Amino acid sequence: MNLRMNIRTVYVLLLSLFLMISIFMFSFFLLIPKGKEYRTLRLEDKKESRVLDASREEQNQLQEKLDKLEKSHKVVIKAFKTSFNPQKFTRLYGKEFQDLFLSELEMSDHNGSFKVYEVNATTKINSPETFYHFLDQVNHSDWIIGVNFPIHFEREGDLIKSSFTMKVHHIDEVKE
């Protein structure tokens, strides 16, 4: 009986030794190398998280700035998005003049963000005050219009004829 107990004890010791060797091998060949890799990956993740947080903060600041600019310039943005209608222009501002003619000019050097129109207007006045009133109204219109100088005034009796070119800025397509 004594011998049997010793064999069982030997088997338990051998099994314990085998398990201990297996645990050490598992630790040295799998856990420790993966632990080192985990630490390096965790450090890289922290660095990338800091960069991501900084980028998000910068993006939030830029978005706030953009929102403020959009809010303060919403009239101009709306004017850029409003397409120019020469008939509507003539109908709105034709009452200031006896005759108001628009003709689109072809320009080879423009970038596509505006059209150029030549405006010929005739009115029955003694001074160009009506014309300056017209310019003030155009300045407050729904379109972005730039009047190019020189403006030619020609007097014919009690009529003053004016001729000038204007650039009508527009956005063909809103790209978002």
Model confidence pLDDT, tens digit, residues 80-135? 777 777 777 777 777 666 666 677 666 555 555 556 666 666 666 656 676 777 77
Which residue segment(s) compose the domain that 34 sits in?
A: 1-72
The per-residue pLDDT for 46 is 95
**Residue 43 shares a structural domain with residue 20:** yes
Give me the mean pLDDT over the 12-38 stretch.
87
Q: Are residues 158 and 128 located together in one domain of the fold?
A: yes
Q: Tokens at residue 127, please?
A: 């001074």
- Quickly count: other Cβ atoms within 10 Å of residue 117's Cβ: 19
Q: Which of 72, 94, 111 is the last residue of a domain?
A: 72
| Helical segments of the chain, H only | 2-26, 32-72, 74-81, 86-93, 129-139
Residue with tokens 């890289």: 44
With cut-offs at 50, 70 and 90, classify the pLDDT of residue 175: very low
Radius of gyration of the CA atoms of the chain, in A = 41
Half-sphere exposure of 169 (CA within 13 A, CB side): 13
3-state secondary structure of 147: strand
User: Which of these, 43, 136, 64, 156, lies nearest to 93 by C-alpha position?
Assistant: 136
Residue-by-residue DSSP string for 19-47: HHHHHHHHIIIIIHHHHHHHHHHHHHHHH
| Selected residue with higher pLDDT from 71 and 4 | 71
Q: How confident is the model at residue 66, as a pLDDT?
A: 92
Report if pTM > 0.85: no
Sheet strand arrangement including 99-105: 99-105, 114-123, 159-169, 144-156
Structure tokens at 128: 């160009």
pLDDT at 68: 92
- Three-state DSSP class for residue 103: strand
Q: How many domains does the chain contain in total? A: 2
pLDDT at 174 exceeding the cut of 70: no
In sign, the C-alpha dihedral spanning 139, 141, 142, 147 is: negative
Judge if 67 and 5 occupy the same domain: yes
Q: Write the pLDDT tens digit of every residue in 44-89.
A: 999 999 999 999 999 999 999 999 998 888 877 777 777 777 777 7
For residue 91, being part of any structural domain is answered with: yes
Claim to verify: residue 61 and residue 5 sit in the same structural domain: yes
